[in-house]
């Protein structure tokens, strides 16, 4: 008969559980932390003076006019968030096949950036460089008349103009998200030629043709109508199966003058983040995209996940994989949690 009153101790030198016995010691030995300084809050902006518009597929997110944008940015700064990434929602009447409104001086988005920087000069403003908010077809560039595919070099020429206009409006970091070949070098040359040598480039170095962008496309108005197949962007965005190709893209962007490399999406591409980090001395950013955000919210709403715990674990995983910078729609809520608000 086994005597249950006494269990002899195991002969163990190492007992890893000793470092898990209390919240205090777990905090002391914690290897990875998400800090408020790591966070960039993406924001969707619209023209006019109307109130915020809720985005149905992205709970808690809104399209903001300039007045509400400044208010939101001030709240972010008070929470310790020092950077925002801006994405314009363009009225369909201003769109055409070439996205010409992107490079018009009267583009309201330039004025919004100027106003925001005048009101909060210490705020770091990142602006997306792509044509999909401006094109009537929703692709990230100009379509070739013969093939119907995005014309690479013609698109790059327009993007360089757009990036320069964004810099002239006060943008601190331009972020080309289009995945055209050669656009980082062309934009760097244009910025330097126009006197914006201090404007940084955050390159969407490894942007994959992901199924997780749907809510974002709703937010900026580049989604197709209900019942119409989603746009096929696989001729310019990366195949989700390809890691080595992602590393090639990152290396090319670094060689062409990128200041920061980014992987998008983040949560499903932790191996890519880790590999990019291992192959560069540049800062590495990762974008927790709209589908990742919506997915966590939906599961939490159904009662299947704890929203805050799932949110924090997802961001820890991205940071642990090697990301220095986190673009996440959860940034404001995380900053509140870090301040215990």
The DSSP element (H or E) to which 288 belongs, if any, is strand 284-288
Reading the block at residue 191, the tokens are 């910025």
Distance of CA 296 to the CA centre of its chain: 17
Q: For residue 41, what is the enclosing H or E element?
A: strand 39-45
Residues 6+ apart with CB under 8 A from 256: 182, 184, 185, 188
Q: Answer for the pair 30, 22: CB distance below 8 angstroms, yes or no.
A: no
SS3 assignment, position 17? helix
Helix (H) / strand (E) containing 247: helix 243-255
226 is annotated as an active-site residue: no
Q: Could you confirm whether 46 is annotated as catalytic?
A: no
Which residue shows structure tokens 């942007």? Answer: 207
Q: How far is CA 180 from the centre of its chain?
A: 18
DSSP secondary structure letter of residue 195? T
SS3 assignment, position 15: coil
Directed axis angle between helix 66-78 and helix 108-119, to 10°?
40
User: Whose structure tokens read 């330039």?
Assistant: 110
Which of 46, 264, 277, 319 is catalytic? The answer is 264
What CA–CA distance (Å, rounded) separates 161 from 167? 10
Two tokens at 228? 């119409």
Q: Name the phi and psi angles at 202, rounded to 5.
A: -100, 105
Q: Which of these is catalytic: 95, 207, 233, 319?
A: 207
Task: Give the residue among 165, 153, 94, 81 at the shortest CA–CA distance from 129.
Answer: 165
Phi, psi of 284 (to 5 degrees): -115, 125
313: left (phi over 0), alpha (psi -120 to 50) or beta: alpha
Catalytic residue positions? 207, 264
């Amino acid at each position: 008969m086994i005597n249950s009153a006494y269990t002899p101790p195991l002969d163990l030198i190492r007992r890893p559980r000793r470092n898990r016995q209390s919240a205090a010691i777990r905090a002391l030995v914690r290897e990875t932390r998400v800090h408020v300084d790591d966070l960039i809050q993406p924001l969707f902006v619209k023209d006019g003076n109307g109130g915020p518009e809720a985005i149905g597929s992205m709970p808690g997110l809104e399209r903001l006019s300039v007045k509400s944008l400044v208010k939101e940015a001030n709240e972010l700064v008070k929470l310790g968030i020092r950077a925002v990434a801006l994405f314009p929602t363009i009225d369909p009447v201003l769109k055409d096949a070439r996205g010409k409104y992107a490079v018009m001086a009267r583009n309201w988005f330039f004025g919004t950036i100027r106003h925001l920087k005048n009101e909060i000069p210490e705020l770091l403003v990142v602006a997306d460089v792509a044509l999909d908010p401006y094109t009537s077809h929703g692709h990230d560039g100009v379509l070739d008349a013969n093939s119907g595919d995005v014309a690479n070099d013609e698109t790059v020429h327009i993007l360089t103009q757009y990036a320069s206009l964004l810099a002239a409006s006060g943008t601190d970091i331009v972020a080309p998200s289009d995945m055209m070949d050669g656009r980082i070098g062309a934009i760097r040359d244009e910025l330097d030629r126009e006197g914006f040598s201090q404007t940084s480039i955050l390159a969407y170095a490894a942007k994959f043709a992901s199924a997780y962008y749907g809510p974002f496309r709703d937010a900026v108005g580049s989604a197709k109508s209900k019942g119409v197949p989603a746009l096929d962007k696989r001729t310019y965005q990366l195949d989700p199966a390809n890691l080595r190709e992602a590393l090639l893209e990152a290396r090319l962007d670094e060689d062409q003058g990128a200041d920061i490399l980014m992987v998008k999406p983040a949560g499903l591409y932790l191996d890519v983040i880790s590999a990019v980090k291992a192959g560069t001395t540049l800062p590495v950013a990762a974008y927790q995209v709209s589908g990742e955000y919506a997915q966590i919210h939906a599961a939490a709403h159904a009662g299947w996940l704890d929203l805050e715990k799932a949110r924090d674990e997802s961001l820890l995983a991205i940071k642990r994989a090697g990301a220095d910078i986190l673009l996440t729609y959860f940034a404001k809520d995380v900053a509140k949690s870090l301040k215990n608000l």
